[in-house]
Amino acid sequence: ENTALQSRPPPEELNYGATAARVRQGPSVPVSRQGPAKRDYLIAAVLCYANLINFMDWFIVPGILLDIQKYFKLHDGDTGLLQTVFILCYMLAAPIFGYLGDRYNRRIILGAGIFFWSGVTLGSSFISESYYWIFFLSRGLVGIGTASYSTVAPTIIADLFEEGKRTTMLSIFYIFIPVGSGLGYVLAAGMAEVTGDWHWAFRVTPCMGGLALVLLILLVPHRTQRRTAAHRALSISGTVRVAAEEPGVQRTAKTTWCQDVISLARNWSFVWSSLGLTAMAFVTGALGMWVPLFLYRAQVVQGIVSPCSQESCNSSNSLIFGGITIGTGILGVITGAEVARRLRKINSKADPLICATSMFISALCLYTALMVAQTNILSTFIFIAFGELFLSVNWAVVTDILLYVVTPRRQSTAIALQILVSHLLGDAGSPYLIGIISSAIQDKNAHSFLWSFWSMQYSFIVCAFVGVFGGGFFLLTSFYIEEDRKEAER
């Protein structure tokens, strides 16, 4: 079925983004509408697999946190710094890779990142207890490697699929955030339990990363086509005549990185949704780092488990929490994408309103979980599960907001800046902040298992209030989203 479309800015770009300025009305362009090719789905599958490994590496440390804390003799504040170092390096490297991803070969950037972080992860498994600072450094280097992937991969998926399919494929891609996170806990706890040595937890994902690198080289093309919002509606296999060949059609000059940043700062939907994502990152970062240890301390207070005095501590909480993260992540991302797809038909502000509602409910669930932890551990698990479920609803929806309120030639930069801001003000500091508050409370009170639990409980309350702020930021996004979407389409 052929459709006549008026000529628009050229669908291809040589190095940097889509081009659009003053376009003279031109002849019709016949386009054959077909679905995405099988190769596109294979490429997306490889990117999803690499995303799985990416987030498994993120959460290996929290999965065996008690063992690492004992091995290197770390206090709560120092332990929280482990994840902070990782996130700081990750977020500082993200804008660099966003700049490179908008201008240079994305397959090379992805391959180099996977190779680098896999190698460093493997090397960190051989660090002795007297060189704890090298272990901290290795986590920072892994963060740099993963930044190259997280910044570039979503833009490739956005270029491969039309708007309807794009939401679905991004949902599948982001399902692997909670799935990978949960498997990180399960892998770490399982390997520590099977081998009796937590170091083996860092020796599995590098092998998986090697496979991802091979698949990336074989399946992802050397160059992937960048398309504007208008041309994403065109089939890749269709015949498109480049409008630039017509006289009078002009391309806009390449913009600098500073010009891109200024433009994004004026995009209020991008700004407020990024702050909402920052609140999400703050909460998920703190939960991901400390929940297994918090549950362990609650169980000690209730007399369910005895204090750990062995070389390898009981890792059942990490296994359970990992399972909860996987299940709620899959269900949350799918539910969020489907609810957004249906509500967009009747309300153009559906996406930010969904995010705001889920943040408010999540904050309430997490606060309830903290309050019942001292008396009922089962209720704590249930409310934590609901809290994570409603957080997971937002993952794909927030990214889809960015992709339709930001012009395509600035998307890698926008994703990089969103990563920078959300991690700088979010999960880069939240694990460390929770640890510092917990250590400060313990220092002011008598050393006991009860105060060890209370200190973590009181510090966790911060997350509930940040979740409420996140819901407010998404509500503000809804005031601007219609106008910014129209501007991006223009």
What percentage of residues in the chain have a pLDDT greater than 90?
17
Whether the per-residue pLDDT at 249 is higher than 50: the answer is: no
Q: What is the pLDDT of residue 431?
A: 86
Residue 65: Cβ-neighbour burial (10 angstroms; 0-12, 13-18, 19+): buried
Q: Predicted confidence band at 1 (pLDDT cuts at 50, 70, 90)?
A: very low
Q: What is the pLDDT of residue 71?
A: 82
Kindly report, as residue ranges, where domains of CATH 1.20.1250.20 are found in the chain. Answer: 36-235, 267-489
Contacts of 359 (CB under 8 A, 6+ apart): 276, 279, 280, 390, 391, 394, 467, 468, 470, 471, 474
Q: Which residue has the higher pLDDT, 365 or 426?
A: 365
Phi, psi for 462 (deg, rounded to 5) = -55, -40
Q: Predicted confidence band at 473 (pLDDT cuts at 50, 70, 90)?
A: very high
Query: Picking from 18-22, 289-293, 416-420, which range would have the lowest pLDDT averaged per residue?
Result: 18-22
pLDDT tens for residues 166-218?
777 877 887 787 788 888 888 888 888 888 788 888 888 888 988 988 888 88
Q: Is the pTM value of this prediction over 0.75?
A: no
Residue 370 has which token pair?
Answer: 């903290």
143 to 30, 82, 148, 429: CA distances (angstroms): 46, 11, 9, 15
In the chain, the amino acid numbered 98 is G
Query: Picking from 36-50, 62-76, 85-99, 221-235, which range would have the lowest pLDDT averaged per residue?
Result: 221-235
CATH architecture of the domain 267-489 equals Up-down Bundle (1.20)
* Section 50-76 average pLDDT: 84
pLDDT tens for residues 435-456?
899 888 988 887 788 888 899 8
Residue 113 has which token pair?
Answer: 């990142």
Q: What is the pLDDT of residue 311?
A: 56
Whether the per-residue pLDDT at 314 is higher than 70: the answer is: no
DSSP state of 11: S
CA distance 144 to 128: 23
Q: Which residue has the higher pLDDT, 163 or 414?
A: 414
Highest mean pLDDT pick, 193-202, 240-249, 457-466: 457-466
Q: What is the pLDDT of residue 466?
A: 95
Whether the per-residue pLDDT at 425 is higher than 70: the answer is: yes
CATH number listed for the domain at residues 36-235: 1.20.1250.20
Q: Rounded mean pLDDT of the chain?
A: 79
Which residue carries 């290795």 as its tokens? 138
Rg of the Cα trace of the chain? 23
Q: What is the pLDDT of residue 367?
A: 95
Q: Determine if residue 240 is left, alpha or beta; phi over 0 gives left, psi from -120 to 50 gives alpha, anything else beta.
A: beta
Q: How many CB atoms lie within 10 A of CB 243?
A: 21
